[in-house]
Structures are given as C-alpha cells and as structure tokens.
A = this chain, B = another copy of it.
Amino acid sequence: MVPETGNRGVDATDENTGQTPQVPEPRKRKRLPRSEREQMIVEEAIRFFAEVGFEGQTRELARRLDITQPLIFRYFPTKEDLIERVYQEVYLSRWNPWWEELLEDRSQSLLGRLTDFYKAYAKAIFTYEWVRIFVYSGLKGVNINKRYLGLIRDRVLKRIMGELRAAHDLPTPEEIPFSEAELELAWGLHGSIFYIAIRKWIYEVEIPSDIESVIAVEAESFVNGAPKVVARLIGEQKRRTPGPHASTGR
C-alpha cells in the first residue's frame, strides 16, 4: 500500500513511467485569510458537488482547490456541514422579490408579464450548479426542496392564476378559491419551462440556444389555452356549490 500523503493531487503512483522522475514540486504554500479560504472551498464545493453529486470525495475536492484534504476539515467539521453550507449558498438570496411585483404590474399584458418573469427567473436560477444541486438534494430528500416548491406555489403560481382570472373578468380567489386542477395548470406552465433546464443540465441534451424565445412561445401557448380551461373549472365549481364556498384555496 502506498503511504498516503496530503500532497495536493500529486498522485503517489508513478504514472509517467520511463519519464524523468517528475519531482514532487515543493510548491509554495499559500496562506489566505480565513474568510477568503472558506469562500474558496464553498464555491468549488458547489461546482464539484453539482457535477458528481454529494458522494463526491473530499480528496478530489481538495485536489481541485489545490489544497490538502485535511484543510477542508479545518473549515468544516464534517463533510455534511460543508454540504449544508452549499445548500445555503445555492438557495439563499437567489430569490428576487421584484419578481412578485412584476407579475402584478397590470400596465403590461399578462403575456408580457409572464414572459418577462420567466426570462428573469430563468436567468437567475437556470445554471448548471443550481439545477443539478436542486435535483441532487431532491433525490436525497432534503426538505429545503419542499420549502422551495411551496414558495413557488404561493408566491408565483397563485399570483399567476390570480392575474389570469383578473385578465378575463373571472371571480377573485377570495370569491372562489383556487381548485387543485386550476393550480395544476400553473404547475404545468412552470414545469414546461423548468423542463428546459432539466433537459439541458440533467440529461445534457441539445436544446435551442435561445432559451428566452422558447419561454416566450411557452407562455404564449399558456395564455392562449389556459383561460378557457379555468373558466370551465370555475363554472363547474360554481354549479356544484352555489352561494358561499368552502373549497381549499390551499
């Protein structure tokens, strides 16, 4: 067994056989302020875990950082602590409250608002790191995903369906709460757009270079097709429960 060294990625096994002995290269030791080094580790960890998943090994991460593996543990007590920090860094402060105002700005058409919102949303979170870490953590069952989807539902989808009703003189959610099926329509729009990111970053297949125009087409189809369905759903709901209603606004 080869004695393990803390050397930065310099493999002990002699791969370059017959070559010059390839001196281990003493390498000037770089000393950084604590906060700076910590940020370096977190950022590289995001890239690394996004690529290989959370089972990625601390030694490989250290190699990419060009530091020794024990150094990681001088900044994060356990690997799990580092992963937790990665979650925070990826999810936190990528949410833009302005998006919610944008969706309600009735000086613009609903179609315009939807395309603008999803273009901005896609620009902010449709990245290799975000999408893959989101899916990886979803598979792990981390509840940060569930909270995030709740955010999407309450802050985005309900708002979209409220605006869609308003644009077609349909009852407000206070008068008739959103039905499950109605919210699913909004999930359909959201899914059709998020699926673009999944194809690109998870399956890594070719997708149109111009994502924004795809979003525009998707939103257009939604605005064309959803209102009639919503009207039908509300009509059925009304007929079933005349007078004051008690369905779930959820």
Contact = CB atoms under 8 A, between A and B. Distances in A.
Contact of A187 (B132, B135, B138, B195): B195
Given A139-B202, A149-B199, A181 B214 contact: yes
Q: How many copies does the complex hold?
A: 2
Q: Tell me whether chain A's interface is mostly helix, strand or loop, or mixed.
A: helix
Interface in A211-241: 213-214, 217-218, 220-226, 228-229, 233
Nearest to A224: B225
A226 to B, nearest CB: 5
A170 interface: no
A190 B190 CA distance: 12
Contact of A203 (B138, B184, B217, B233): B138
Contacts of A185: 217-218, 221
A110 interface: no
Tell me which of A141, A192, A208, A222 has the highest count of chain B C-beta atoms within 10 A of its own C-beta. A192
A36 B41 CA distance: 49
Interface string A133-151: 0011011010001100100
A80 interface: no
B202 A135 contact: yes
Nearest to A180: B208
A56 B189 CA distance: 35
A13 B225 CA distance: 62
Nearest to A55: B55
Contact of A205 (B136, B146, B202, B205): B146
Contact of A228 (B55, B145, B224, B226): B224
Nearest to A228: B224
Given A53-B53, A138-B202, 9 more contacts: A135-B135, A145-B203, A181-B214, A184-B196, A191-B191, A191-B195, A221-B225, A221-B229, A225-B225
18 contacts: A135-B202, A138-B202, A145-B203, A146-B203, A149-B199, A184-B217, A185-B217, A188-B192, A188-B195, A188-B218, A191-B191, A191-B192, A191-B199, A192-B192, A194-B195, A195-B195, A217-B229, A222-B225
